[in-house]
Structure 1
């Protein structure tokens, strides 16, 4: 192709900058080509900046080629900005706090490639996900309505999905709301950060469960909140302790249905006390209902939002645990008084989540696949929890697990064998992902317990993971042994 030959000669320097090219008629005759072919090559080279024509003089190779224009111009060190010394501040004070904050120890998020699925926290059973159904729904959407989902949409989210969520949440969690109160977010973490930023001013006090979810802590740090760690016991957040510590806190972030990380359920007495405190102080409660779909004993508990007669609870739900984490879809159900403010604020951030994903989730729910998938996963996860406990018993008494009424992980109490963080690090080096409970305490803790996820751990990985964990635990001295079946923490 003549264009490629000429361009190559120019780039290699065979045709130097400023040199004159043969006239198109002469070049066509020499190459045995039509003149139109030569003119087309000249036009393309001229359009890309490789040659230039001079009226009445001819065609010349450009003195400055396009590739040179794309390179950064050299600069002298004297004209450059002075280099920052290692101790120079580059972030705001809040940014520095956020950068130093503890992160959820998810290997892929922290830059590590997981070598196995054993005991990863918050991971659903991807090996049991209905990929064929999901792929078919995606294909149908792209074939029938992709163009309609490409423009901007409401910052509250795709209307049919909001209607599907409102219908589902009424049955599953006892929350009666309208689709207008539902705001679709990019996952529950964005929802938590969004709530903290909208409902808090810098310096406002906020209650945080202790131990608690590190993502909630990061959201409060991002909002510049004054964090008040409130202790948790078997009845959930200790509301009386929170009032004694900071009665005028602006918000409280809680996981009442299945406290993270301990797994306790907040008692009705505590729930009513929390709502009463929020109403009296005109404060807000953020209910993170991250895995309430997975309850294996009795009916699912009603959400805190469902018993809130004062409209002081903001509900946060997610599809990460029921479908898959990388979907990045969650939602907020806001009291009517603050819905418009939330939607306006969402407009100033990322506008809305990916519409194709929202539409496919809508189809998945409306066609009954969502309910069927949940039923199958409840059965599977109950079986995997039982298997987790059996495997723990198989390796001896150095880690004690007790069954839980719900959730996707268990807390294993360790015998007196030292630092749970060091144990988790040793296990990770061998491809087993257990989390130390101590990192979830706000203040330094001497907890000796591990969090083990079972939902996303197939049987083969669970047995292999416990074999590794047994070796890690055996390498550490012990003076007492945990009793299998004892209540954790």
Structure 2
């Protein structure tokens, strides 16, 4: 019922498998649908942990460039025409934050149907939408034919809960269930009833409404502080969804500037360059804004902006020759 109302995804309870998180779901599902050496399209830039999971399990991650409309499907067809799966974050691309356009969604679904491949839709942070209505999930458009939908309660409740889930096409239920039994026969179920009660009682929806307001304020404060305190050195597009934003230098800036500023400023999060595989990386930072008091965000943003200016000045100074 939650997936239908929130993401336009209609499915039977038997199609839902609970896991300890997205990566756990990936390991189980991929073992049921792929063979060692099979190719998987991955967004570039994209989620490094997912790429590591594919490699560790013996699959070949193929980087596919991302632009302002999402994954470039035509590039994927050229890079790996025989790929058996595609891993995407269409609602809020990690890390760039773009939303996959409807034409790209339909193009991706058409590829999967023609290729007999599956799409792994990681719909992380889809609950945190601040501006306008989101596009329907890929799985909702596809009606769970070629799309495997991945979600988690790590952000909407708390990470230590360790409850994620996937919604499966009916044709995969038997194979995925067999893989689950072989890999993880006795999962912990103690907290599942409590989460079900929250969903049924309306407490889950009430909590989302409350934290959206907090996170919107945190997002705006972080973006405004970074741009103002950096004197324009950092460009910070304000995302309409999610719990992170990207602060970018001009593309011409050396990648070491961001690395030096991050270390000197004591900032956590990713370097934007670390999320790229083959596409030319952009200099900047991937910064989360949830779970922090506003004064802490302001102080941290001012410190990172100050160190960014310092690193830029140091890099632009001419080297004196003896």
Residue number in structure 1 paired with 2:268: 433
Displacement of 1:478 in angstroms is: 4.4
Corresponding position: 1:454 with 2:301: no
Residue number in structure 1 paired with 2:172: 338
Change in Cα spacing, 1:475 to 1:290, as seen in structure 2 (3 Å) is same
Structure 2 distance, partners of 1:447, 1:398, is 14
SS of equivalent residue, structure 2 residue 246: strand
Following TM superposition, the consecutive aligned residue runs of length 4 or more in structure 1 with deviations greater than 4 angstroms are 478-481
Residue number in structure 2 paired with 1:347: 181
Displacement of 1:363 in angstroms is: 1.7
CA offsets 1:423-477 (integer angstroms, 9 cap, x no match): 3465346532142111111137442111111122220111110232133213213
Structure 2 distance, partners of 1:234, 1:418, is 23
SS of equivalent residue, structure 1 residue 355: coil
Structure 1 distance, partners of 2:212, 2:232, is 28
Which one of 397, 405, 423 corresponds to residue 232 of structure 2? 397
SS of equivalent residue, structure 1 residue 400: coil
SS of equivalent residue, structure 2 residue 9: coil
Which one of 307, 311, 318 corresponds to residue 476 of structure 1? 311
Structure 1 distance, partners of 2:258, 2:110, is 42
SS of equivalent residue, structure 1 residue 356: coil
CA offsets 1:394-439 (integer angstroms, 9 cap, x no match): 312121112121111111111455325x634653465321421111
CA offsets 1:186-219 (integer angstroms, 9 cap, x no match): 1111112222222211111111111111121022
SS of equivalent residue, structure 2 residue 183: coil
Q: Is the 8 A contact 2:265 2:307 kept in 1?
A: no
Q: Is the 8 A contact 2:247 2:284 kept in 1?
A: yes
Structure 2 distance, partners of 1:244, 1:423, is 32
Larger Rg: 1
Change in Cα spacing, 1:458 to 1:310, as seen in structure 2 (3 Å) is closer
How is 1:34-433 mapped onto 2 (pairs within 5 angstroms)?
167-309=1-143, 311-395=145-229, 396-415=231-250, 417-419=253-255, 423-424=258-259, 426-428=261-263, 430-433=265-268
SS of equivalent residue, structure 1 residue 260: coil
Change in Cα spacing, 1:423 to 1:354, as seen in structure 2 (3 Å) is same
SS of equivalent residue, structure 2 residue 207: helix
Change in Cα spacing, 1:417 to 1:453, as seen in structure 2 (3 Å) is same
Q: Quote the RMSD (CA, aligned, Å).
A: 2.1
Q: Is the 8 A contact 2:260 2:311 kept in 1?
A: no
Structure 2 distance, partners of 1:247, 1:309, is 24
Structure 1 distance, partners of 2:261, 2:221, is 23
Gapped regions of structure 1 (runs ≥ 5):
1-166, 482-489
Structure 2 distance, partners of 1:446, 1:288, is 23
Q: Is the 8 A contact 1:187 1:318 kept in 2?
A: yes
Aligned residues: 314
SS of equivalent residue, structure 2 residue 43: strand
How is 1:24-35 mapped onto 2 (pairs within 5 angstroms)?
none
SS of equivalent residue, structure 1 residue 348: helix
Change in Cα spacing, 1:310 to 1:243, as seen in structure 2 (3 Å) is farther
Structure 1 distance, partners of 2:141, 2:186, is 29
Structure 2 distance, partners of 1:403, 1:352, is 42
CA offsets 1:220-277 (integer angstroms, 9 cap, x no match): 1122112211111011011111111112210000011111111111111111111111
Structure 1 distance, partners of 2:70, 2:23, is 21
Structure 1 distance, partners of 2:23, 2:86, is 16
Segment of structure 1 superposing worse, 290-299 or 465-474: 465-474
Structure 1 distance, partners of 2:144, 2:208, is 31
Q: Is the 8 A contact 1:172 1:300 kept in 2?
A: no
Q: Is the 8 A contact 2:144 2:168 kept in 1?
A: no
Q: Is the 8 A contact 2:31 2:179 kept in 1?
A: no
Structure 1 distance, partners of 2:26, 2:305, is 37
